[in-house]
Amino acid sequence: MHEIKNEKVINYSMCFIYACLVIFFIAHLPVVFISVLAVICAWNFYLTYNNKPKPNSIFANILAGAALVLMLFSVGMSDTVILFVAMLMLSSLFKLLQAKTKKHYHVITTLTFFSLSSVYLFNQSILTTLTVSGLYILNFAVLGLLESKHNLKIASKQSGKLLLLALPLAIFLLLFLPKMPAFWQLPGPKLAKTGLSEQVDPFDIAKLSNSDELVFRATFNNSAPSAPYYWRAIVHDEFNGNAWLTSDFLKYNNLKSNSKNDFDEQFIASYSVIAEPASQKWLYGLSYSRSDSQNVETNTLGLLRKKNYQAKSLQYDVTSSRFTSTPLTDFENKRYTYLTHKKNVKAASLAKNLKQNTQTDRQFYNQLLQYFVDNKFTYTLTPTPMSGDNTIDQFLFDNKRGFCGHYASAAAYIFRSAGIPARLASGYLGGELNLDNSTLSVRQYDAHAWVEVYIHNEGWVIFDATAVVAPERLNGSLSQNEALNTEFKSNLDFGLVSLSNSPGINWLRLELENLDYQWSSWVLGFDKQKQNDFLKSLFGSRNIWLVPLIVLLTSGICFLAYFVYLNLPKRATKLAPMVKEFYEIQKWAQKHNIKTPDHLTPSQQLQVYMEQSPQSAQSISAFSQLFNQVRYGKKSFTNERKTQAKDLIKLIKTSK
């Protein structure tokens, strides 16, 4: 039973759409489950290509049940958003595998709109938007194909045109529609980002920095401060023997910053940041940061946090200043020198030695840096994994090669052993300046960890052993670092960054980068504040609240009018003479409950009216004559006849 004309093309298109979706979701769904989806997609393609019948429903349903179980096991119930996406994909693909009738395909295309939209939960970049728009057009085309005999090309053109038509409306709504707070929110998927975590345990990691995914972009308002840029995200203050953790105390007790120490702040820079969607709360800032933007809160450590979990990109303005040199409290002092596990004996004795040889904390700081230089430590992205409970000793005295985490962890341990307050900070180092030197793009492979040491009279100071081991690392991004380039690239997944050797591709990459930046800052980041500024610049600052109201009202009225127009009974655009007048008489008769059979000619209807309403019989008869002469006798509908008709209608109407 093949009632659909373009079934083959439709199947190919849907396979294509879902193949794209599967490729997109590879990073976000478990491998096992993704391969199941890919197999179903390929299977459907195979069946279509070879003109084979689709599997019967019992078989397909059993298979779907099995896949569902697999999904529950592999995806799990912890992240409901991911689960939702997985279910959507699975059900759509199975429906496609079974689809035979037009109704089935209608269901699938409808589901596909949801599937396509769910891509935005994970990524909102311009490339994604363009791809998804293309797939939208294809899906619309399939929807059109279901109802018509056109080919895909024509249908795509048509649906593309429709989408383009919708574009001005979308822009209008974006610019003028008041930004309202969401009534409800999705929790946001827990994005699998590789960069940071709340626990820094470098010793069991063998591979690192393999993602060139964008984390955030920063645009300096005036001049950029000098490099290096240490973008702080998390502070770890607790050592558990292997890893550095963020203690509950830090997590929960330091919410609001008090603006007490505002006076002696030393301004470094002010800038705005657009953070890419991420499920974690932490945000990024230089040194001691403060932000007055909505949805962002600042804590006493100078760290920024999102106010609520939202998996969408967030733009905020930051002012950064140097750390103050106010002395630590006893409690703080204790916290930042506390070590529970003292298994790294060698490291502790090294600390003791250094301490004995130096008078001040500053000297200790320098000595330790010198130690890393003298003992030929090297920087690598592929360290040897270490285990045991004295991993820091192993690193310091045996391996001597590692990445930032190793150095930071070891250094912080030594500082604490020497009784100097220290904590581990993780975040990102550097970033890549775009072509016009105003915007810094920071990617996952820029993730970094370093130590913050409290030095008396100086306050918190950054101690980064990486700086002496691999000084190039401090300036610019890892991708621009010559020495580590090969190693870095061999680690990186295939992408534009890995091709940045060729100048053409590098230029293209930076251009795309810039485009994407504009997209995030002007479309995704077009928030209430920006809208207000825009409206102010357009209409002046007075009665600014009126604008959205007027816009909303006018657009509402426009839509209402359009729908009313759509529902009006269709009539010929221009009625022939006397026809309108005749309709008027008909309406009059209906009002007076004079009913006539449908098949009567106009004159016969008028005859009936005459019989039913004898008072106006004369006028009706005259009207009938006039109607016949004009309508059938083709007498010209002169003004005289017009007024005559009008008068007659008036007479007829008033006679009862």
Q: Taking CB under 8 A as the rule, does residue 582 contact other proteins?
A: yes
Least separation, in Å, of the C-beta of 570 and other proteins? 15
Binding-site member from 270, 628, 644, 655 for other proteins (CB under 8 A): 628
H helices of 148-212, where? 152-176
Binding-site member from 256, 542, 574, 634 for other proteins (CB under 8 A): 634
Least separation, in Å, of the C-beta of 51 and other proteins? 37
R_g of the chain, CA atoms, integer Å: 36
CA 82, distance to chain mean position in Å, is 15
Q: Taking CB under 8 A as the rule, does residue 600 contact other proteins?
A: yes
Question: How many residues at the interface with other proteins, by CB under 8 A?
Answer: 18
Q: Taking CB under 8 A as the rule, does residue 597 contact other proteins?
A: yes
97 or 630: whose CB is closer to other proteins? 630
Encode 376-388 in three state secondary structure. CCEECCCCCCCCC
- Helix or strand or coil: residue 501? coil
The interface region with other proteins, picked from 221-229, 438-446, 534-542, 597-605 by CB under 8 A, is: 597-605
Q: Taking CB under 8 A as the rule, does residue 595 contact other proteins?
A: no
Q: Taking CB under 8 A as the rule, does residue 621 contact other proteins?
A: no
Least separation, in Å, of the C-beta of 602 and other proteins? 6
Q: Taking CB under 8 A as the rule, does residue 638 contact other proteins?
A: no
Q: Taking CB under 8 A as the rule, does residue 604 contact other proteins?
A: yes
Binding-site member from 256, 260, 376, 599 for other proteins (CB under 8 A): 599
d(CA 473, CA 440): 16
Binding-site member from 529, 603, 621, 655 for other proteins (CB under 8 A): 603
d(CA 423, CA 413): 9
Show contacts with other proteins in window 483-502 (CB under 8 A): none
H helices of 209-321, where? 248-253
76 or 633: whose CB is closer to other proteins? 633
129 or 628: whose CB is closer to other proteins? 628
Q: Taking CB under 8 A as the rule, does residue 570 contact other proteins?
A: no
Q: For other proteins, what does the binding mask look like between residues 91 and 130, x meaning CB under 8 A?
A: ----------------------------------------
Q: Taking CB under 8 A as the rule, does residue 602 contact other proteins?
A: yes
Q: What are the DSSP calls for 434-464, one per residue?
A: -TTSSEEEEEGGGEEEEEEEEETTTEEEEE-
Q: Taking CB under 8 A as the rule, does residue 632 contact other proteins?
A: yes
Q: Are 258 and 312 in contact (CB under 8 A)?
A: no
Binding-site member from 601, 638, 643, 654 for other proteins (CB under 8 A): 601
d(CA 564, CA 575): 21
The interface region with other proteins, picked from 92-100, 128-136, 363-371, 575-583 by CB under 8 A, is: 575-583
d(CA 12, CA 100): 14
Least separation, in Å, of the C-beta of 611 and other proteins? 16
Residue 365, both tokens: 């700081």
Residue 334, both tokens: 């204790």
The interface region with other proteins, picked from 240-248, 458-466, 520-528, 574-582 by CB under 8 A, is: 574-582
The interface region with other proteins, picked from 291-299, 331-339, 368-376, 578-586 by CB under 8 A, is: 578-586
Least separation, in Å, of the C-beta of 593 and other proteins? 21
12 or 637: whose CB is closer to other proteins? 637
109: nearest Cα among 141, 155, 157: 141
131 or 596: whose CB is closer to other proteins? 596
Least separation, in Å, of the C-beta of 631 and other proteins? 6
Residue 299, CA atoms < 13 Å, CB-side half-sphere: 21
Q: Taking CB under 8 A as the rule, does residue 435 contact other proteins?
A: no
Least separation, in Å, of the C-beta of 650 and other proteins? 21
Binding-site member from 336, 631, 645, 648 for other proteins (CB under 8 A): 631
The interface region with other proteins, picked from 154-162, 266-274, 324-332, 595-603 by CB under 8 A, is: 595-603
φ/ψ of 215, rounded to 5, equals -100, -50
116 or 610: whose CB is closer to other proteins? 610
Write the burial class of residue 279 (CB in 10 Å: 0-12 exposed, 13-18 middle, 19+ buried): middle
The interface region with other proteins, picked from 183-191, 275-283, 499-507, 627-635 by CB under 8 A, is: 627-635
650 C-beta neighbours (distance < 10 Å), count: 11
d(CA 545, CA 562): 26
461: nearest Cα among 471, 450, 469: 450
Q: Taking CB under 8 A as the rule, does residue 170 contact other proteins?
A: no
Axis-axis angle for helices 404-417, 345-357 (nearest 10): 60
260 or 634: whose CB is closer to other proteins? 634
The interface region with other proteins, picked from 138-146, 338-346, 524-532, 579-587 by CB under 8 A, is: 579-587
- Maximum C-alpha span of the chain: 127
- Helix or strand or coil: residue 271? strand
d(CA 35, CA 15): 15
Q: Taking CB under 8 A as the rule, does residue 73 contact other proteins?
A: no
604 or 638: whose CB is closer to other proteins? 604
Question: Each residue of 346-369: b (16+ CB within 10 Å) or e?
Answer: ebbebbeebbeebeebeebbeebb
d(CA 429, CA 53): 57
324 C-beta neighbours (distance < 10 Å), count: 17
The interface region with other proteins, picked from 99-107, 207-215, 477-485, 625-633 by CB under 8 A, is: 625-633
322 or 641: whose CB is closer to other proteins? 641
d(CA 582, CA 596): 14
Q: Are 316 and 283 in contact (CB under 8 A)?
A: yes
Plot region of 302 (φ>0 → left; ψ -120 to 50 → alpha; else → beta): left
| 83 sits in which H/E element | helix 80-98
Binding-site member from 598, 636, 639, 640 for other proteins (CB under 8 A): 598
* Residues that bind other proteins in the complex, under the rule CB under 8 A: 576, 579, 582-583, 597-604, 628-629, 631-634
